[in-house]
Amino acid sequence: GTIPTGTQEQLTVSGTQFDDTILDLTTQSTFASSSTGVIFIVGTGLASGVSAGTSNVTATYTVHVNRSGIAAA
């Protein structure tokens, strides 16, 4: 995607459970930009276009497993 210089875009993360329920995982994820001079990300995914160029953006969500082996967010 493209984020024009001087604009902001809210990035999102979603996940699908085994029963096809879709969860919004944005606030539980962390975001990073490979080039903060091009895309700068604050908080839970608010991305700002800083200058022209290319940047890889990654979002990470960690799954926690309870003792019975069932994934729990």
pLDDT digits (tens, 9 = 90+) for 11-56: 999 999 889 999 999 999 999 999 999 999 999 999 999 999 999 9
Q: Using one digit for the tens of pLDDT, what is the confidence trace for 49-71?
A: 999 999 999 999 988 766 665 56
Element housing 24 (H / E): strand 22-24
Structure confidence at residue 54 (pLDDT): 95
pTM comes to: 0.78
Residue identified by tokens 């967010």 is 73
User: In angstroms, what CA-CA distances link 48 with 7, 27, 31, 38, 41?
Assistant: 6, 17, 12, 8, 6
Query: Does residue 5 carry a pLDDT above 80?
Result: yes
